[in-house]
Amino acid sequence: MMGEGIRAWLLVRLGCDWRRALTSVVIDRAVGVGLLVAFGFIILLLPSGLSALGGYRDLVLMIYGMLLLAGAVGLLLLPPLIAFLNRMPYLRWVAGLAADVRCVVLSRQRLAIVLSAAAVIHSFSILIIWSLARAQGWLLPSLDAAVLFVIMIGVAVVPVSINGWGLRELAVVALLGRQGIAPEQALVFSVCFGFVLALGSLPGALAWVLYSAVPAKASMECRG
């Protein structure tokens, strides 16, 4: 939550009003989770020694598929939903949020940018997992690293822990234990991944401390 607050504050300093700043953070999180589900669904369809997920693969695929279907139906129903919500004074802010979501997700240019950025970020995460496994002497195929990415990042989305700590370790130890990897090795692997993610956020923290945002008037209107 702290990261979202900082981003909203920086947007306000750059001339954006608080409503749009908070809306952008909410959309960013929602789109991020949606793309994570989409990437996870595709990855779990690929052949991998870990994709069985201890016998829960079909259940996870069904849940991910239902979430993707619900998201697609929701996007198709946005225009009438926005018109309906605009007629209710107390729900116009929800209509504004829905309109902003439609602006971002259904614009080809913006969607291409979002998908490209997500693909690059997720690819780096998979590369980190593969590199950590190699550092521990494991011959981890890239597809297995992708499945571990789905598990390790997916549990971090569950809002019952701080950045996934604890839940991620339990999931990794359980999954890798079925592959014959000792619990202590799996635990060290998961903790190292968490530390790498924390180290990766340090440049952003340094930029926040040193960066002086200059207020600027920028058009936030949705075009196209």
Q: Are 166 and 152 in contact (CB under 8 A)?
A: no
Domain borders along the chain are 2-210
Under a CB-based contact definition with an 8 Å cutoff, are residues 220 and 20 in contact? Answer: yes
Rounded distance between C-alpha atoms, residue 108 and residue 206, angstroms? 34
Taking residues 46-74, what's their average pLDDT? 84
SS3 19: helix
pTM of the full structure: 0.78
Question: CB of 78 within 8 A of CB of 47?
Answer: no
Residue type for 2, please?
M
Return the C-alpha torsion angle 129, 133, 134, 135, nearest 10. 100
Tell me the per-residue pLDDT of 68-109, one tens digit each, with 9 for 90 and over.
999 889 888 988 988 888 888 888 888 888 888 888 787 788
- For residues 163-186, give the mean pLDDT: 86
